Structures are given as C-alpha cells and as structure tokens.
Amino acid sequence: MQMSQNSGAIPTRMKPQKSMNQSERKIEHPFLKSLKRHWQLYLLVLPPVLYLFIFKYMPMAGVQIAFKNYSVVQGIWGSPWVGLKHFETFFNSPNFWLLLKNTIGISLYTLIAGFPIPILLALALNELRTGYFKKTVQMVTYAPHFISTVVMVSIIILMLSPHVGVVDRLFTFLGMTMTNFMGIPEYFKSIYVWSGVWQGMGYSSIIYIAALAGMDPSLYEAARMDGASRLKKIWHIDIPSLIPVTVILLILNLGSIMGVGFEKIYLMQNPLNTSASEVISTYVYKVGLIGANFSFSSAVGLFNSIINLILLILVNAVSRKVSKNSLW
Amino acid sequence: MFNRNRIKDPLGDRIFMGINYLFLVLVLIVVAYPLLYIVSSSFSSSRAVTSGQIWLLPVDFNIKAYISIFKSTQLMMGFYNTIIYTVVGTAINVILTVMLAYPLSRRSFYGRGAIIIFMMITMFFDGGLIPTYLLMKDLHLLDTRWAMWLPGALAVFQVIVARTFFQSSIPDELREAAEVDGCRDIRYLVSVVLPLSKPILAVMTLMYAVGHWNAYFDALIYLRSENLFPLQYVLRNLLILNAADPAMLANTSQQLRDQGFEQVLKYALIVVASIPILIMYPFVQRHFVKGVMVGSLKG
C-alpha cells in the first residue's frame, strides 16, 4: 500500500493534467487503484478463483438435493423439495447405528494408536546424532508413505492370506492356528489401524522432528550443565516444545473423526467383514453412485460433514480455552 | 567414539540410549522387513512362495513374473494412462497453484483477504461425493481424461505453502527494483520469483505427482472406458479383485498356472507399480522434509 502511494505521487507532480481526473473523485477506491496498477495480478488470480467457484462452490450449492427428491429430468434446481425426509429415513434405518459405530470406532482407534507413535519416533530419533544409522531409519520409515492405497491394501491381503501369507506362517510357526484374518470382522479395525501406523509413522514424525530441530541449543546446554539426564531433558525440554504443534494436529485429527478415509476401507472390504468395515463414506458411495440414490446419499454425506464441522469448531474452542493453541 | 577422551555419560543415560537404539532397530526391522519380503517373493519360484519357503531372500531366483507383466496390454495401457495423467495433471496443478499463491503473497494486492477466505472455506466445507459427481455429469466430463485432471486441480494446502514461501523468501526490494525498470507483475513472477522458488516448486511438483501416480478414487467414480483406466485402477482389478489378465498367464507352462504363480505375479506387480516413486524418493526426500516444514510454519 505504501509503495503504490509513493510511486503514484511522483507522476502526479510531473503531469498535472492527469491528476485533475483523479482529484475530481477525491480519493479513488483502493480496489480500482490496485486494479489499475496490478491488473496482471487479477488476471493471474482469475482462473484459479473461477476454478474454485465451479468445482468447489457449485457442489456446495448442489448439497440442496439432500432436501429434495432429485430427478435427472428436473435437475438439481428443479427437483421438488421434501424437507428432512431423507435424514429421517437415514436416522431410522437399521444401518444408522452400525455406520456411526464403525465410523467413529475406526477413527478413534486410528487416533489413539496412530497419534502418539510418530511423536515417540521423533523423540527417539532426536536423541541420536546425525549419522548413518539415523539417516537409514528416517529414509526407511518415510518410504511406505509413498506406497499407493491400492498397493498397500494388496500388501495387507497378501501378507495376511492363510497358508501362504508371511504373517499367517509366522503365527503357525509360533504354534497358533491358521486364520483368515481378512474374513473376521473383529480383526478389521486392528488391521486397518496398524497397517496405517506402519505406513504413516515415519512421514508423520517429520513435523515433530522439525519442531525439535528448531529448539534453542542453549536450553540443552543449560540442562547439561545442571546435570539433567537424557530422560529429564526429553521430559522438560523436548515434550513441552512439541505441545503447540501437537495440539494443532490433534485438533485437525479430532475435527475429522467422522471423515474416515474412503479409499483404504473400501478396498479392504469383503463380504465377510462388512459388519465391521461399512462406514459412512463407503455407504454413501454404494447407495449413491452404485444404487443411483442421489438425494438420500447426499443427505447421509451432509450429515457426516455437519458433524465433522461441529466437532472441529468445538475442539478448537476447547483447545483455545485450555491451551491457548487454536486454528483460528 | 570410545577412544576419544571425553567424560562418560552417566549409567542411566547409557541404559536409556541402549533402549533407544533397540527401539529404533525394532522400528527399522518392522518397516523394512515387509518391503524386503515383497521384493524377494517377486523373484522367487511359485513353488517356493506357495510352500512358504521365503523368509528373507529369494528362493530359486528368477524373473518370470516380471516378463509376464510386460506382456499384459491392460497393464501397459495403465502405465501409459497414468504417465499422461501425472504429467498433464501435475502441470495443471502447479500452474494453478502459482497463479493463486503469488498474488496472495503480495501485500498491496487489494482483495487478498477476501480471496483467502474464499479459498479457506473450501477446506472446511465441500459438496461431498454426490453433488460433485452430478456437477461432473452436467459438465459432460464423465469418462473423459479431464475427470482425472479437474476435480483435484488445486490443493489449498499447497497454495498456502507456496504463498508462505513467496512471502518469506523473496525480498520485496527485488520487486521494487524490477518495477523501477518497468517490469510488470507477470514478467516479474516468471523471470524473478519462479527461478528463486525452485525448492518449493520441486516439493509441490513432487507432492502433486505422487498424488496423481497413486490416484484411483477419481477413476473409480468417473471413468467407465477401459482404455482410460490408470495404473492403480488396473492394479486394483488384478491385485484385489483377483481378475488376472489372461495375457500374463498365456505363455507360461501349465504347471505354472497355479495359484502360486499368481501370487508371485502379485508381488512383482507391487514392485513394478511402486518402483517409479521409490526410485525417485531418496533423491527428493530432503525436499519433502522441507515441504512439510514450510507447511508447518503457518498451517
């Protein structure tokens, strides 16, 4: 702003005729002024803004079909309103509690198991001096993050398949009986969560490692002078320094508790384990796209997003009160 | 390490470090073993795989499975499509991201706050699966290559990361100097800002590219024609739905056409599908770390 005022002042003094035009309007609107000087910036921003409008905001307007009886002929805007009918159908359906239980269960399990492990890994790595071993651990643990969901799920299936899978052979070797892990609903959550931990712990630890690396070294020196043990240093310096970033990530994670990923669960599903593996997102896909029940599944999806948003706002508010860390 | 004349760590610390090393070695084994096991299985004979002889290294080393893979036209088509989706899709991603991120990094850009809010809203609200699908249908984009490029053409997170980088790493004096020389905004962006932003552009490109390479969700929802399917979608059919391409099994002798060979094939498929990214990965690991860190500066 200061820049543009300064450089705008010079031509005014040099070319008095042109400034007449401006003084008529006294102060030009800052937008027009900015547009004149930086029209190229507006040109740049136009396509992405249009993109967001079409591909993000138009579907938001399309959410109205959750309150309508969508028909292909009448389209989104022309279909008749039915109020909360689809929501009532969903709440009263026998699937409702099962879907809710599975969705929240899988998310909470993921959070409880998956959240602390990257922190532990970061703390452990932080104790090592940079060297061959540390680099190897980091490189190897980051790698699975880049494996695609399809490949990851097929690895899980191959490893756990009865007779030939290595896990099953290991169990048999240890004297346990052979099992078809993927076919037993009780195992589904654990398989989903722990394979996720395997895949993500290294990559998730990066952010904590970065936070630890940014610590003031004089704190460690002072601690060493005072004769603090390594454990004490972790407890009194490392862990407190991780709290802000941990809280932010925790808010984001809690805020998406209902948003359990579609891709991996859908691929891991089989007819034997659906009682434990059907979650809201897979249900929306099956009823909506495969069953072509657009309005009903939009209502289910909307219910999911609203709960998510409420959770995010709640958790954020609590965190702002308790720890003074918040997203906004 | 030991011959250096330094004060020994206290006993407690040495025990702690011992446990720490033990923990990390354990983590290393747990992560690395399945990866090694997959690679070894893919080079083993089907008999060795079915009878469970493989524990760490390949048994009866051979590359038959890999030869079969390259006979599958379905799979080669998948590779071809994925390469197109990745190259074009990443180009669209990076261009759109820079176009939005750069103006937002300029303090004198009037309307900046409004656009940021406009953009951030899409992070917390979205139409959901069905309305997005209906939009794609109305735009006649179903079953076209555009369906793989447009729905995820812009990641708000990447815009924020790039904006933070432009704001914090490109000195304002440069622009003032360029402006005095009569350089307009777009030219300044292209010939001054972008060359200075190579690290962040590299990270962004890689993150988007990995996303395209691994994507299968959009294909599942929007694509119907077999000649458009990306690699991951083909892999899903082969690996998870167990619909093996007959071309892969055609030239193998009858005794190999058992469940065992299909198992070996699967291991080989996993390796082939993941190798492009895993080869690239050690070179770019440093950049990825940097990218995550820039993102965490202002989340």
Say yes or no: A51 and A186 in one domain: no
66-105 of B, contacting A, C-beta below 8 A = 96-97, 99-100, 102-104
pLDDT at A225 over 90: no
Q: What is the pLDDT of residue B134?
A: 92
Q: Flag whether A22 is in a domain.
A: yes
Say yes or no: A30 and A94 in one domain: no
Interface test with A, best of B4, B110, B218 (most A CBs within 10 A): B110
Closest CB to A45 among B32, B115, B184: B115
Say yes or no: A177 and A199 in one domain: yes
Closest CA to B130 of A298, A76, A71: A298
Q: What is the pLDDT of residue B235?
A: 92
Say yes or no: A55 and A121 in one domain: no
Say yes or no: A279 and A302 in one domain: yes
State ipTM.
0.86
Chain A CB within 8 Å of residue B250 CB: no
Q: What is the pLDDT of residues A182-199, one digit of tens each?
A: 888 889 999 999 999 999
Question: In this structure, is the dihedral angle defined by the CA atoms of residues B71, B73, B75 and B80, taken in order, positive or negative?
Answer: positive
Q: What is the pLDDT of residue B81?
A: 96
pLDDT at A4 over 90: no
Say yes or no: A128 and A246 in one domain: yes
**Chain A nearest C-alpha distance from B50 (Å):** 6
Chain A CB within 8 Å of residue B57 CB: no
* pLDDT bracket for residue A26 (50, 70, 90): low
Say yes or no: A151 and A232 in one domain: yes
Region of B60 (left: φ > 0; alpha: ψ -120 to 50; beta: rest) is: left
Would you give the DSSP letter of residue A94? T
Interchain contact, B216 vs A34, CB within 8 Å: no
Q: What is the pLDDT of residues B254-299, one digit of tens each?
A: 545 566 788 888 899 999 998 888 777 766 766 666 666 665 544 3
Q: What is the pLDDT of residues A268-318, one digit of tens each?
A: 998 888 899 999 889 989 988 888 889 999 999 899 888 888 888 888 888
Backbone angles phi, psi at B287, to 5 degrees: -65, -40
Rounded Cα distance, B19 and B12, in Å: 11
pLDDT at A151 over 90: yes
Q: What is the pLDDT of residue A15?
A: 46
Interchain contact, B24 vs A284, CB within 8 Å: no
Q: What is the pLDDT of residue A137?
A: 93
Final residue of a structural domain among A74, A102, A134: A74
CATH number, domain at A208?
A: 1.10.3720.10
Q: Flag whether A50 is in a domain.
A: yes
Say yes or no: A170 and A304 in one domain: yes
Q: Flag whether A328 is in a domain.
A: no
Chain A CB within 8 Å of residue B201 CB: no
Region of B182 (left: φ > 0; alpha: ψ -120 to 50; beta: rest) is: left
Q: What is the pLDDT of residue B244?
A: 62
* pLDDT bracket for residue A19 (50, 70, 90): very low
Interchain contact, A40 vs B185, CB within 8 Å: yes
Contacts of A58 in chain B (CB under 8 A): 127, 131, 135
Tens-digit pLDDT string for chain B (299 aa)? 455 555 667 888 889 999 999 999 999 999 999 999 999 999 988 888 877 788 888 888 888 889 888 888 889 999 999 999 999 999 999 999 999 999 999 988 888 999 999 998 888 788 888 999 999 999 999 999 999 999 999 999 899 889 988 988 888 888 888 888 888 889 999 999 999 988 888 888 888 998 999 999 999 999 999 899 999 999 998 888 876 666 666 555 554 556 678 888 889 999 999 888 877 776 676 666 666 666 554 43
Q: What is the mean pLDDT of residues A37-45?
A: 90
Contacts of A147 in chain B (CB under 8 A): 214, 274
Q: Flag whether A282 is in a domain.
A: yes
Backbone angles phi, psi at A81, to 5 degrees: -75, 140
**Chain A nearest C-alpha distance from B35 (Å):** 9
Q: Flag whether A80 is in a domain.
A: no
Number of structural domains (chain A) is 2
Q: Flag whether A202 is in a domain.
A: yes
Say yes or no: A158 and A125 in one domain: yes
Q: Which CATH superfamily is domain B73-228 in?
A: MetI-like (1.10.3720.10)
**Domain span holding position A249:** 85-323
Single pTM value for the model: 0.85
Q: Flag whether A79 is in a domain.
A: no
pLDDT at A214 over 90: no
Say yes or no: A258 and A133 in one domain: yes
Q: Flag whether A200 is in a domain.
A: yes
Domain coordinates in residue numbering, chain B:
11-70+245-297, 73-228
